[in-house]
Chain A
Amino acid sequence: MIQEAFESTYHVLGRDFPNAGRVSTSIKDTLKRMGIHPLVVRRIAIVSYEAEMNLVMYATRGKISLRVSLDSVSINVDDEGPGIPDVTLAMEEGYSTATPEMREMGFGAGMGLPNIRRNADEFDISSHVGRGTRLYIRVIQAA
């Protein structure tokens, strides 16, 4: 088990489909090696992967930051992109603006953001149209 906070930032490029998901599998590896509980690792990996897919599908570029402290693991996602005009609507299951190309990959069914929220103990989203979107997710580690 880790003794102090650990932080790492990963860069993700929009439209880089061949590499989409690499950052999240790498985050998962890192957490596993740290001895974090497998169910916490899985929740963070799912959250990070959905966010990474959103970033690749919609944004120009962005970064995913991982922070591990004694009591929790958190993910911050910060992208430069079109932003989300109606965040409340985007949080509804099934609401999607995905293209057929995104759907063919198995994503873009309006499940990503609701799924991220479901796996988070703390969740925050803010978005500015024409600038980008920020996400904050925290998963508590049981003592």
Chain B
Amino acid sequence: MATVPKAATLTLEEVRDILEAEVLNGEDLSVNVDAFGAADLLSDVLSTSRPGTLLLTGLVNLQVIRTAIVADLCGVVFVRGKKPNAEILSLARESKIPVLGTHLNMFEAAGRLYVAVSESR
């Protein structure tokens, strides 16, 4: 998983705007994002992410939310317009994991965030 370090400069609200994303779960979007990662392999997330990472993923299942809980991620962005089902969103709500959904693909979403983080340094 690729990680962009030292990015404590974007809030989840800014991420939502940059990615033209829909908020699927989460009330407080003022949370600062410490790091970003993009991966479809959850074992990579578990082995390389640091606490506070925002995960961009094209994988949509319950294990994504459980991985976010276990690895102390600050939120999940589902890319390519993929819609999590009610069970996934209910687990996210229960565990207070913010979830965004964007129509952008992984490359475009990661690219936009990379540029925004670089410019804000």
Let me know if B11 is at the binding interface, CB within 8 A: no
Q: Whole-angstrom distance from the CB of A44 to the nearest CB of chain B?
A: 10
**Closest 10 A/B residue pairs (Cβ):** A21-B66, A106-B42, A111-B43, A45-B70, A115-B47, A49-B70, A106-B59, A25-B69, A46-B46, A109-B41
Residues of B whose CB lies within 8 Å of any CB of A are 40-44, 46-47, 51, 59, 61-64, 66-67, 69-72, 87, 95
* Residues of A contacting B: mostly: helix
Cβ–Cβ contact A25 & B62, under 8 A: no
Cβ–Cβ contact B46 & A50, under 8 A: yes
Interface size on A, residues (CB 8 A): 25
Total number of residue pairs linking A and B with CB closer than 8 Å: 72
7 cross-chain CB contacts under 8 A: A28-B69, A42-B51, A46-B47, A50-B46, A106-B42, A109-B44, A115-B47
Let me know if A18 is at the binding interface, CB within 8 A: yes
Cβ–Cβ contact A49 & B46, under 8 A: yes
Cβ–Cβ contact A20 & B63, under 8 A: yes
Chain B residues contacting A39 (CB-CB under 8 Å) are 51
